[in-house]
Amino acid sequence: MAEAETAKKKSSLRALGLALSNRKTGFMLIFGFASGLPFALFLGTLFAWLTEAEVELETMGIFSLIGLAYAFQFLWSPLIDKANIPLLRKLGKRKQWILPMQVLLGTILVTLSLLEPKSQLGMFSLLAGIGAFASATQDIAINAWRIDVADDVATLDILSTVYQMGYRFSSLVGGALGLIIAARIGWPETYMLMGGILLAAGAIGLFAPNAESDCMETSERNDAQVRQLRQAGELAPQIRNRALGVVALLWAGAIGVVLAFMIMSMTYAPEDRPNPTQFTLNFGPWIIVATIILPALVAGWLAGQKKQGRYLLAKDAPPAKGGDYALDHLYRALVLPLVEFVGRMGWSLVLILAVVLTYRICDAIWGTFAYPFYLGELQYTNDEVAFASKFFGVGAIILGLAVGGWMLTALGRMFTLAVGGLLAALTNLLYADLAIGGYNMQALSDLVGFTWLIEQVPLIGSAKLAKLTITIGFENLAIGIAGAAYVAWLSSIVSKKFSAVQYALLSSLTLLVGTLGRGALGEMIEDRGYFDVFVLTTLIGLAAVVLVMFEWWRERRAGRASGVVAPESAAARVG
C-alpha cells in the first residue's frame, strides 16, 4: 500500500512537472496576465487617477460602459468563435483576436498617458470604453485558446490554474503596485509603462502555439459545419429556421437594450444618464434569460426532436445558396453551440446549471460589501485593508491556486472542486467571528505567532490587523483552490468546436446570481447584520458542495455507462 501511494505521488509530481515545463503553460501565464491587467487598470486604478485629477464621476457617462463590457461579453462571443479578421487569420483561430486586442489595449493605455483627464475628458473616457470592450473581447478569445490547446501534457487543469495565477498577479501589478508607482513617477508615466507591458505581451504572444485543429482554416471549418446541416439525418431547414428566428429575435432584443443604454450614456446630459448599477440590476437578469435561458430551452427542444427522429431530412438536401446559406451560417453561430451542449448533456444540464449558479455565489455577491465591512463595520483604515486584502490577500490566492493545481493533478478535478467549495464555504464562518468581535480569530493568530509577525509591519502593524489578515488569508487560500478547480471543471464540459460561445455563456451566469443576490444581501445586512449574512452564505456554499457531489457521481456513472473511465488527473495518464 505504501509503495502504491509513493508511486502515485511520484507520478502526479512528474505529470505536474511536465505540464509546468510545457511552452503552452508559459504562454498561458502571459495571456492570463494580459487578461487581468486591463481589468485592473480600467475598473480600479483609473478611478484613482480621475479622482486625483478632480474629475467628477457623474460627468463620465461613458465609464458606465466599462463594467458593462465585461458583464455582457457573451453577446459577441459567437463572432469571436466563427469570424475571421482579414489578413490576420494566419496567426491562428484564437490569436487573430488575442494579439490585435493586446496591441489595441497597449496603444490605448499609451494614448491615455498623453491626455489630460479633466480637459480632455471626452476622448479620455471614449478610449477607456473602447479599451474595456477590447479587453472583454480578449478574455473571450483567451479562454477559448486555453480550452483548444489543452492536451495530455499541458492539461486543461494546469492551464486553467496558471491562467488564474497570471490574472491574479496582474491585479496586484495594475492595482496596488500601480498606485505605488503612480505616487512616485506620476499617473501618465504609470499608464505608459503599463501600455508598454501589454504591447510586449502582444509581441511575445505571436509565438504562442495554436491548437492542432487550427490547421484547417476557420472558413473551411465553418463551411463543413454548414454542409453537415444539409445531410440526411439532420433537422429539416424549415424547423431550424423557425428556431433561429426565435433565438435571433431574443438576441437582437438584448443587444438593442444594451446599445440603447450605451447611446444614452454617451449622449445624454449627466443628470439624465442611466445608472449603470440599476441597469445591471433591472435588465441584467432579463438579458441572461433572453440570450441563455430561453435559447437553451429552444435548443433542448431541437435536440429532443432530433433524438426522437422527428423533422429530419430523409436524404441529403442540395447545398444552401444565397439567403439559405446565410441562415445556415447564422444558425451555426447562434443556435448550434447550444444544441450541441444541451444534446450532449441532456437532463444533467439542470444539475450543471445548479452548480454554476451556486458554486461561486459567495464571491459574486460578497465582493460588493467587503470594503464597507472592513472600513465601516470593523473600522480598519485604508492602509490596513490594502495590506491585508491586496498584498497579503493576493499572495494567499496565488498560493491557493498553486495548491489547487497540485490537487487537480494528484487528487482529481471533482475531488478538488468539492474540497475547494467546502473550504470556501467554511471560511465565511471566520468572517462571522470577525462580525461579533473576532475573539476566536485573534486567539488563533496569537497561538500560531501570526500576531507577532504582523506587529512587525512598519506603521500599521497591530494585533487587530493580524486577525483581519489571517482571516483574509484563509479565505483567499480557499478561494484559490476553489477557483482553480471551478475554471478547470467549467472548461472541461464545453466542446472545443464551440469553446468561445459555450464558455462565455456558462461563465456569464454568475452575473445573474450576483445581480439578483446583491440587493437582497444588502437588505439583509441592514436588517440582520453581517453575522447572519455570513452564516447564510456558509449554508449556500455547503449546498453547492452537495450539488458538486451529485455532479461527481453523475460523471462517474456516465463514464461507466459509456465504458470509458476518464482519468481525473494527469498522473493517471502519465503513470
The confidence score (pLDDT) of residue 313 equals 85
The confidence score (pLDDT) of residue 4 equals 46
Place of cell 463514464: 559
Q: Average the pLDDT over each of 114-118, 183-187, 272-276, 517-521 and give the range with the smallest value.
A: 517-521
Interval 251-255 mean pLDDT: 89
Place of cell 480578449: 138
Architecture of the 12-213 domain: Up-down Bundle (1.20)
The confidence score (pLDDT) of residue 141 equals 93
Higher pLDDT pick, 218 / 559: 559
Q: In Å, how far are 85, 206, 454, 569 from 463, measured between CA atoms?
A: 57, 49, 7, 42
**For 426-443, how does the pLDDT look when each residue is reduced to its tens digit (9 = 90+)?**
999 999 999 999 999 999
Higher pLDDT pick, 345 / 467: 467
The confidence band for 569, taking pLDDT boundaries of 50, 70 and 90, is: very low
Burial readout 332-345 (b: 16 or more C-beta within 10 A, e: otherwise): bbbbbbbbbbbbeb
According to CATH, the superfamily of the domain at 351-574 is MFS general substrate transporter like domains (1.20.1250.20)
Nearest to 181 by CA among 48, 66, 296, 83: 48
Give bridge partners of residue 312 from the DSSP assignment: 235
443 Cβ contact list (under 8 Å, min separation 6): none
- Cα-flanking dihedrals φ and ψ of residue 494, to 5°? -95, 160
Amino acid at 522: G
118 Cβ contact list (under 8 Å, min separation 6): 53, 54, 55
Helix residue spans in 289-360 (DSSP H): 294-307, 322-334, 336-345, 348-358
- Return d(Cα 534, Cα 410) in angstroms, integer: 32
Nearest to 409 by CA among 251, 570, 262: 570
The confidence score (pLDDT) of residue 565 equals 44
Q: In Å, how far are 71, 214, 485 from 159, measured between CA atoms?
A: 23, 18, 11
Give bridge partners of residue 235 from the DSSP assignment: 312
- Return d(Cα 178, Cα 174) in angstroms, integer: 5
Q: In Å, how far are 40, 121, 132, 282, 545 from 268, measured between CA atoms?
A: 27, 15, 21, 20, 46
Interval 170-190 mean pLDDT: 87
Q: SS3 for 221?
A: helix
**For 202-241, how does the pLDDT look when each residue is reduced to its tens digit (9 = 90+)?**
899 999 998 766 655 555 666 677 788 888 888 899 999 9
Query: Do the Cβ atoms of 495 and 340 come closer than 8 Å?
Result: yes
The confidence band for 570, taking pLDDT boundaries of 50, 70 and 90, is: very low
Interval 349-357 mean pLDDT: 89
The confidence band for 60, taking pLDDT boundaries of 50, 70 and 90, is: low
The confidence score (pLDDT) of residue 46 equals 82
Does 68 have pLDDT greater than 90? no
Interval 277-294 mean pLDDT: 80
Q: In Å, how far are 124, 342, 510 from 306, measured between CA atoms?
A: 52, 12, 31
351-574 matches 12-213 in CATH topology: yes
**For 379-425, how does the pLDDT look when each residue is reduced to its tens digit (9 = 90+)?**
998 889 888 888 888 889 999 999 999 999 888 999 999 999 999 99
Higher pLDDT pick, 119 / 449: 449
Does 269 have pLDDT greater than 80? no
Phi-psi region of 563 (alpha: psi -120 to 50; beta: other; left: phi over 0): left
How far is Cα of residue 101 from the mean position of the Cα atoms in its chain? 17
The confidence score (pLDDT) of residue 568 equals 47
- Return d(Cα 102, Cα 425) in angstroms, integer: 36
Q: Average the pLDDT over each of 18-22, 87-91, 292-296, 351-355 and give the range with the smallest value.
A: 18-22
How is residue 55 written as a grid cell?
Answer: 474629475
DSSP letter at 316? P
- What are the extents of the domains in the chain? 12-213, 216-334, 351-574
Greatest Cα-to-Cα distance within the chain, rounded to the nearest angstrom = 79
Q: What percentage of residues in the chain have a pLDDT greater than 90?
A: 37
Burial readout 221-233 (b: 16 or more C-beta within 10 A, e: otherwise): ebbebbeebbeee
Helix residue spans in 412-498 (DSSP H): 413-435, 439-447, 450-455, 463-492
Q: Average the pLDDT over each of 2-6, 181-185, 188-192 and give the range with the smallest value.
A: 2-6
Rg (CA), the chain: 24
**For 505-523, how does the pLDDT look when each residue is reduced to its tens digit (9 = 90+)?**
888 777 666 656 666 677 7
Question: pTM here?
Answer: 0.84
DSSP characters over 523-565:
HHHHHH-HHHHHHHHHHHHHHHHHHHHHHHHHHHHHHHHHT--
Q: SS3 for 574?
A: helix
